[in-house]
Amino acid sequence: MPPEILSSYPISDLLTVILTTSPTPSAPSTELISAILSSFRTHCPLLLSCRVIVVFDTYERIVSHARLKKGHVTPDGARTFDLYKQNVKQVITNEFLTGKFDGIMIEGQDEAEFGHSRHETNSVPFTTFQTTGNRVTFIEPSKRLGFGLAVRSALRLTETPYVWVQQHDWPLVSDIPIEPLLDTMKTTDADERSPVRYVCLPSIRLLSYADSAHVAHFPVLRDLTASLKCDFVTEPGASVPLTPMFFWHDKPHIASTQHYLRRVFPTRLAMLRGAFIEDTIGQRARNQMKEGNWVKWATWMYYPDQGRTLCLRHLQGRTWEGTEKELERKAMWMAQGTKRNLVESSLEV
């Protein structure tokens, strides 16, 4: 669709929020998701007017010691996950449907295909639940997908030209000019030299990215940064500071839907089950960019204040147990400390 036509559409018709979540020690509390939504309200409220697709990636197996990156959960983690999903659904529908949700959702079936496996069929069935008009969609796979397949499954249901991909433990901490960013992506799409088709938000480790070792140690990347880094001017006079990024990160980002499908998932079997995009496609993309083939990926970083402004905070969803559990643990430590002090005092006497 031409940029001049896209510009006439409201953001709710241009952008879909894809939110991925999975078993977490803080479940069944929705504090992680609530923190994300709260950060949207504060720093990018237009996101709450968009369609949202929530992928509830499940666990791989039940074990005595959790390893959440591999999908391994404890028996308690497995028990709380179903309740967590119900709680998150309530929070999402309350936020995105502004009290108009009548409880009726249309159920559907689909499947996520993945790369070759010697031990199982290479597809995972999943169930979808969608409200009328597809304003809110929930995806519940029958087996663990991993982040890559979770995103791909959501992209295949996306009806807007752009997506905001959001993991469940990366809230915003700075304002994001979403409309100027989308305007930049729309107006540069046909630019053969510097199209903007993916924009990552800076986390603590990516501050001052343009001058970091990720760039400085590679002459090709230094030259690309020097020639492309700039402020893109949009109507009515807003500017969007961007610097080329030489990687495809999983942390929150905005991207062209078709570019995502074409570059990250060029075939139905491009991703292994359980894999992360940045661990697989991200590494491949970076290797190609080091050889000068950056424009194929068209990846950028939002770069306010010359890369000194932090936009994301990591809540450590694999280890954080939630406010209530943290307070209980702190109270236990304090009680143990008091008991130990009493014992030491009695021995001194």
pLDDT tens digits for range 228-277: 999 999 877 789 999 999 999 999 999 999 999 999 999 888 899 999 99
Q: Looking at the predicted structure, is the pLDDT value of residue 2 above 60?
A: no
User: Which residue spans within 195-332 are E strands per DSSP?
Assistant: 198-200, 230-234, 238-244, 253-256, 299-302
Q: Looking at the predicted structure, is the pLDDT value of residue 51 above 70?
A: yes
H/E stretch holding 329: helix 323-348
Q: Looking at the predicted structure, is the pLDDT value of residue 163 above 60?
A: yes
Average pLDDT of span 305-316:
96
Q: Which amino acid is at 256?
A: S
Q: Looking at the predicted structure, is the pLDDT value of residue 106 above 60?
A: yes
Q: Which amino acid is at 220?
A: V
Distance CA 257, CA 270 (A): 16
pLDDT at 321: 81
| Eight-class DSSP state of 68 | G
Please check whether the domain covering 3-307 is classified as CATH 3.40.120.10: no
pLDDT at 98: 73
Distance CA 234, CA 178 (A): 12
Provide DSSP, 132-176.
GGGSEEEEEESS---HHHHHHHHHTT--SSEEEEEETT--B-S--
Percent of the chain whose pLDDT exceeds 70: 88
Q: Looking at the predicted structure, is the pLDDT value of residue 63 above 60?
A: yes
Name the nearest CA neighbour of 54 among 152, 160, 154. 154
pLDDT at 235: 75
Domain ranges of the chain: 3-307
Q: Looking at the predicted structure, is the pLDDT value of residue 322 above 80?
A: no
pLDDT at 64: 84
pLDDT at 101: 59
pLDDT at 268: 81
Q: Looking at the predicted structure, is the pLDDT value of residue 20 above 70?
A: yes
Cα dist from 113 to 125, 236, 273, whole Å: 9, 44, 8
pTM over cut 0.85: yes
User: Does residue 96 or residue 66 have the better pLDDT?
Assistant: 96
Q: Looking at the predicted structure, is the pLDDT value of residue 1 above 60?
A: no
Record the tokens describing residue 274, joined without a space: 């359980």
C-alpha count within 13 angstroms, C-beta hemisphere, residue 250: 21
Of 114-118, 233-237, 264-268, 298-302, the poorest mean pLDDT is in 114-118
Q: Looking at the predicted structure, is the pLDDT value of residue 79 above 60?
A: yes
Give strand pairing partners of 106: 130
pLDDT at 121: 78
φ/ψ (deg, to 5) at 48: -75, -5
| Average pLDDT, rounded, for the chain | 90
φ/ψ (deg, to 5) at 110: -155, -175
Distance CA 41, CA 345 (A): 52
pLDDT at 346: 61
